[in-house]
A and B are shown apart, each in its own frame.
Chain A
Amino acid sequence: MHTDYNEPKRLLAADPAIAERLSTRQAEIDAGASTNSATRAGLMMGGAVLATAALATDVFGQSSNLPGIVVDVLNFALTLEHLEAEFYVRGVGTAGLLPEEMRGPFDQIRKHEVAHVAFLQSVLGSRAITKPTFDFTAGAGGGNGPFADVFRNARTFAAVAQAFEDTGVRAYKGQAANLMGHDDVLRAALRIHSVEARHASQVRRMRGQKGWITQSEPGNLPAAATGSYKGESNKFQFILGQPDSNAQAQTEAFDETLTKGQVLEIVRPFIAGGM
């Protein structure tokens, strides 16, 4: 179920805040608090490392405690993170694809997306979806879509990366309200969301674009990517209109949401056999 991206799985305990929560939880368990069988098994096997993922699941609320809507949101996020992680693992791992100046930034992005996959899988446990089979040419499995040279041409690779990141930002944003009341999950999602935005800014700037989205401009991406920018020109925030002389800045200042349906429509061509 868990996907190997040729990298050791990252330890949640590397985050001090999470580590603190884990150790607190461990102390509670040591003191006799009830826990789930996976955590107990992990703890009984003795190693903190082995127990980490199970404990994380325990702290964040195992599938059985998470309501269906939260599981749906997290699996939706996991689908997008799988897409991004595999994309960057392949891109960074393809000799001769990326020029020197892009290699560091894309490798940093790869590292984060792989970590996001591992984190979401650890929270979802057995309810995590399996990784779909992707077609990064956007050919729905045919391998000959509009981005046919995605792993042979750095420009195409960066263009697809921009579409993924800008879409990812909007996707997380659109789901935040569905996570209200589940503070650990919501906080984690928000903290991933802003990292996706950092990625988006960097990829856009490496492509010679502004780091932010003006109006609904696709930022020199082909027509196949316009769906990622639909609605970005919105000028009405929280129903308060913004009669603003600087309409361009107004649209740049607020990233807009996408619904789950809109996002799935955007990524459908990248998934073999559709969704």
Chain B
Amino acid sequence: MGDVTGTRGVGAAALAVAQQADTALGTAWGHSNRREFLRLAAAGAAALGLTTTMTGCVVAAAGTKKLDFRDDFGILNFAYALETLEARFYEKVVAAPPRDLRPGELQILRDIGDHEKAHARFLKRSLQILRVEVPMSVWPGIDFASRQSVLTAARNFEDLGVAGYNGAGTRLRLAEFLTIAGKIVSVEARHAAALRDLLNPGSRDFAGDDVVDANGMDRALEPGEVLAQAQKYFAEPYRAVGL
């Protein structure tokens, strides 16, 4: 786990991300894409302030991992942790599904798991320079042999994800990151609606009054609130700074 806090500036880090992505993608990545990324990296560095140090990484320290929410990278790092958690959850579900799942439900859970995997992979690649690591997952209170328990846990993860992205949006300073977060959050909302409908078919629960208020608006939770709810699923606790 590299600690990149300190002297390395965002510009240098962004450039390093670009170079690593360049290497990783090889010839499949066209010249124009490379140029575009460097433009974005430069814009990102400017947006965040060239003197800002790379504080958003997850740093191992004394049994805790630090999440620094002072810049876009910290927020994306947190998103990466949550997406990884979700991906692991569905992987475990799909590997040994509850016997009482109803027809079609396993495919839905498999689809959602594949989406979460894609989100996590994307975020990991975007944050490559930070060498993020997500602690091992634990699953308190989830009975993987029970349809009801699995669907309820899945619904809670998806609703939390929606509220988390909604609450973090205004913290992002780079427009491209905001747009990508938007591309992800609406898929999380699609998941949440589907899972809610599996739990109570044909009802209003897909966008129920418990999550959508009288203005027709979904929940938005601050990162600290989201972390507090997600913390119990990580074997090592995260320590949040910059909130």
Given A201-B190, A239-B36, A256-B183, are A249 and B115 neighbors across the interface (CB < 8 Å)? yes
1/0 per residue B130-171: CB within 8 Å of A?
Answer: 000000000000000000000000000000001001110110
* Complex-state Cα separation, A202 to B198, whole angstroms: 11
Evaluate contact between B190 and A190: CB separation under 8 angstroms: no
User: Given A173, A201, A254, which contacts B193 in the complex, CB threshold below 8 Å?
Assistant: A201
Count of residues in B whose CB is under 8 Å from the partner chain:
63
* Complex-state Cα separation, A253 to B111, whole angstroms: 9
Is A78 among interface residues, defined by CB-CB distance under 8 A? no
Query: What A residues does B185 contact at CB under 8 A?
Result: 190, 193-194, 197
Is B218 among interface residues, defined by CB-CB distance under 8 A? yes
* Complex-state Cα separation, A190 to B157, whole angstroms: 18
Given A173-B186, A202-B197, A239-B40, are A15 and B215 neighbors across the interface (CB < 8 Å)? yes
Evaluate contact between A241 and B180: CB separation under 8 angstroms: no
Is B206 among interface residues, defined by CB-CB distance under 8 A? yes
Give the distance to chain B from A2, nearest Cβ to Cβ, in Å: 15
Evaluate contact between A254 and B215: CB separation under 8 angstroms: no
Is B16 among interface residues, defined by CB-CB distance under 8 A? no
Query: What B residues does A10 contact at CB under 8 A?
Result: 214-215
Evaluate contact between A198 and B121: CB separation under 8 angstroms: no
Query: What A residues does B116 contact at CB under 8 A?
Result: 253
1/0 per residue A187-198: CB within 8 Å of B?
Answer: 110111111111
* Complex-state Cα separation, A10 to B215, whole angstroms: 7
* Complex-state Cα separation, A211 to B109, whole angstroms: 12
* Complex-state Cα separation, A187 to B166, whole angstroms: 7
Give the distance to chain B from A152, nearest Cβ to Cβ, in Å: 22
Evaluate contact between B170 and A211: CB separation under 8 angstroms: no
Give the distance to chain B from A66, nearest Cβ to Cβ, in Å: 16
Is B203 among interface residues, defined by CB-CB distance under 8 A? yes
* Complex-state Cα separation, A188 to B219, whole angstroms: 10
Query: What A residues does B21 contact at CB under 8 A?
Result: 240
Q: Classify chain A: how many residues form its interface, as a range.
A: 35 or more
**From A192, A194, A236, residue with most partner B Cβ within 10 Å:** A194
Is B63 among interface residues, defined by CB-CB distance under 8 A? no
Is B178 among interface residues, defined by CB-CB distance under 8 A? yes
Is B176 among interface residues, defined by CB-CB distance under 8 A? yes
Evaluate contact between A188 and B184: CB separation under 8 angstroms: no
Evaluate contact between B206 and A191: CB separation under 8 angstroms: no
What residue in chain A is nearest B209 (Cβ atoms)? A108
Is A4 among interface residues, defined by CB-CB distance under 8 A? no
Tell me whether chain B's interface is mostly helix, strand or loop, or mixed. Answer: helix
Is A154 among interface residues, defined by CB-CB distance under 8 A? no
Give the distance to chain A from B223, nearest Cβ to Cβ, in Å: 14
Give the distance to chain A from B56, nearest Cβ to Cβ, in Å: 16
Evaluate contact between A253 and B207: CB separation under 8 angstroms: no
Give the distance to chain A from B69, nearest Cβ to Cβ, in Å: 15
Is A82 among interface residues, defined by CB-CB distance under 8 A? no
* Complex-state Cα separation, A139 to B156, whole angstroms: 42
Binds B, one of A142-150, A175-183, A260-268: A175-183
Given A112-B212, A195-B218, are A202 and B186 neighbors across the interface (CB < 8 Å)? no
Query: What B residues does A11 contact at CB under 8 A?
Result: 214
What residue in chain A is nearest B176 (Cβ atoms)? A238
* Complex-state Cα separation, A11 to B217, whole angstroms: 13
Query: What A residues does B28 contact at CB under 8 A?
Result: 241, 243
Evaluate contact between A212 and B187: CB separation under 8 angstroms: yes
1/0 per residue A90-112: CB within 8 Å of B?
Answer: 00000000000100110111011
Is B70 among interface residues, defined by CB-CB distance under 8 A? no
User: Given A104, A118, A243, which contacts B202 in the complex, CB threshold below 8 Å?
Assistant: A104
What residue in chain B is nearest A252 (Cβ atoms)? B115
Evaluate contact between A173 and B187: CB separation under 8 angstroms: no
* Complex-state Cα separation, A107 to B118, whole angstroms: 34
Given A187-B170, A244-B118, are A254 and B183 neighbors across the interface (CB < 8 Å)? yes
Closest 5 interchain pairs by CB?
A112-B216, A249-B114, A14-B214, A115-B216, A197-B189
A-B contact pairs, 30 of them (CB 8 A): A11-B214, A108-B208, A172-B182, A173-B183, A177-B175, A177-B176, A180-B172, A186-B170, A187-B167, A188-B215, A192-B216, A193-B182, A194-B165, A194-B166, A194-B186, A194-B188, A194-B218, A195-B218, A197-B187, A201-B194, A201-B206, A210-B108, A211-B190, A240-B25, A241-B28, A242-B118, A242-B122, A254-B183, A255-B187, A257-B179
B interface residues with partner A (beta carbon < 8 Å):
21, 25, 28-29, 33, 36-37, 40, 108, 111, 114-119, 121-122, 125-126, 162, 165-167, 169-170, 172-173, 175-180, 182-194, 197, 202-204, 206-208, 212-220
